């Protein structure tokens, strides 16, 4: 039988940090490069319906994603919480149970810590020496409740490093000009973080704010002691040709961001 060749994603289907520790990798997908039909066109990485054709398309998209990584992506059952799971080779087995968590870390080569998003902020981590990586799904609930702090703690528990020896990269998310929130979101954060909320025109007399999710995340990471925090600065809502967005479309696909240790 001929050997099946799975093509990697084209270069315009993903983007990477400009600088990342040697021996590790990191990237975030766009909606380009897959096989899913509209409205989930084309690189949707999470099935949105029970249609078998949707399931088949997502399976093919995930195979292309994995080929591009050169590692096995481990997806999570994300619930906007703060649980962090440490991934091992067992999590990459085809019959492995999907962990309910919103972040993962790993010290095992070839295992990609992976989170899916469609406006929430993906945050990728690596130690400067390349011994550990991580990925966190940071919507406003998880961010306010400490998912980034929990991820950094998990990395430091896995390998003895100072917080300053961990680097972080913020992927594309809903931007500060589009993320309109109510008083409940503002109240979920510390008073010192209020500077990352700008007043928005009230609707029906109800106060609204525009929240800067990447700035909130960067502030928390720097308070933890991380000194190298970078980001792509891209807004998922504003670029419909490149990104899925729940806020924009409501019914939408999912992007993914992953960090991994390369196989020697």
Helix (H) or strand (E) holding 154: helix 147-158
CATH 3.40.50.720 fits 11-174+222-261, yes or no: no
The three-state secondary structure class of 61 is helix
- Helix extents (H) in the chain: 52-69, 140-145, 147-158, 183-188, 213-224, 246-249
Q: Where would I find the beta strands (DSSP E) of 175-236?
A: 180-181, 197-203, 206-211, 228-231
Q: Output DSSP code: residue 10.
A: P
How much is the pTM?
Answer: 0.97
pLDDT tens digits, the chain, 264 residues: what are they? Answer: 455 667 789 888 999 999 999 999 999 999 999 999 999 999 999 999 999 999 999 999 999 999 999 999 999 999 999 999 999 999 999 999 999 999 999 999 999 999 999 999 999 999 999 999 999 999 999 999 999 999 999 999 999 999 999 999 999 999 999 999 999 999 999 999 999 999 998 888 899 999 999 999 999 999 999 999 999 999 999 999 999 999 999 999 999 999 999 998
DSSP for 67-96, written as a single string: HHHTSEEE--B--SS--EEEE-GGGGSTTP
Every domain of the chain and the residues it spans: 11-174+222-261
Per-residue pLDDT tens digits for 153-174: 999 999 999 999 999 999 999 9
pLDDT of the residue at 12: 86
Burial group, residue 23, by CB count within 10 angstroms (0-12, 13-18, 19+):
middle
Cα separation, 42 vs 57, whole angstroms: 9
d(CA 150, CA 82): 7
């Amino acid at each position: 039988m001929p050997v099946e060749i799975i093509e990697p994603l084209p270069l315009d289907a993903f983007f990477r940090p400009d600088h990342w520790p040697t021996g590790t990798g990191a990237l975030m997908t766009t909606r380009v490069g897959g096989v899913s039909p509209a409205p989930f066109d084309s690189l949707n990485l999470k099935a949105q319906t029970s249609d078998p054709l949707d399931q088949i398309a997502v399976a093919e998209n995930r195979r292309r994603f994995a080929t591009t990584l050169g590692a096995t992506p481990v997806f999570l059952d994300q619930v906007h919480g703060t649980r962090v799971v440490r991934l091992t080779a067992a999590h990459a087995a085809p019959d492995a149970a999907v962990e309910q968590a919103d972040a993962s870390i790993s010290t095992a080569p070839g295992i990609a810590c992976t989170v899916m998003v469609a406006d929430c902020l993906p945050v990728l981590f690596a130690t400067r020496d390349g011994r550990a990586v991580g990925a966190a799904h940071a919507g406003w609930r998880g961010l306010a409740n400490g998912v980034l702090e929990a991820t950094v703690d998990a990395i430091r528990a896995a390998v003895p490093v100072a917080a300053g020896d961990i680097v972080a990269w913020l992927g594309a998310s809903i931007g500060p000009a589009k993320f309109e929130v109510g008083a409940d979101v503002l109240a979920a954060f510390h008073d010192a973080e209020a500077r990352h909320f700008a007043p928005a025109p009230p609707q029906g007399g109800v106060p609204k704010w525009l929240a800067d999710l990447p700035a909130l995340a960067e502030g928390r990471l720097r308070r933890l002691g991380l000194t190298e925090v970078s980001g792509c600065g891209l807004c998922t809502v504003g670029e419909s040709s490149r990104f899925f967005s729940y806020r924009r479309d409501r019914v939408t696909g999912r992007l993914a961001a992953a960090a991994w240790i390369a196989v020697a």
